Amino acid sequence: MSTAVPACEWEPGVIYPVVDLKRCEGKGDCERVCPENVFEVKRIDEQDYRSLGVLHRFKLRVHGFKVAYTPNVDACRSCGLCVTACPEHAITLAKC
């Protein structure tokens, strides 16, 4: 039995992934499954960290201050692999 890879639905730049930093634990599943290399897991930016409440800051501390960012967001073709791979349900797809 073969596993089919979902076909990309859109041209790059029409749909983009949105990462909820309050939910993201920086596990990197999105980075591993993305065929377009949209994601990068790295230490949370200071400004983003400061914008979070105390509970979410503590959660990030426990998870090593790592979150997913989308430096190559314009390459997203809306395959949805990141959405299904994220164990925290921290990623949604939005239309530009």
Between the CA of residue 71 and those of 26, 37, 40, 41, 56, what are the distances in Å? 15, 9, 7, 10, 23
Query: What pLDDT, on the 0 to 100 scale, is given for residue 5?
Result: 47
13 pLDDT above the threshold of 60: yes
Residue in 5, 10, 3 with CA at minimum distance from that of residue 76? 10
Phi–psi pair at 43, nearest 5 degrees: -65, 140
Is the pLDDT at 7 greater than 60? The verdict is no
Contact assessment for residue 9 and residue 79, using Cβ atoms and an 8 Å cutoff: yes
What's the mean pLDDT when you consider all of the chain? 90
pLDDT of residue 10: 63
> Residue 41's pLDDT band (boundaries 50, 70, 90)?
very high
Q: How far apart are CA 3 and CA 42, in angstroms?
A: 30
Q: List, for residues 60-77, the tens digit of each pLDDT value.
A: 999 999 999 999 999 999
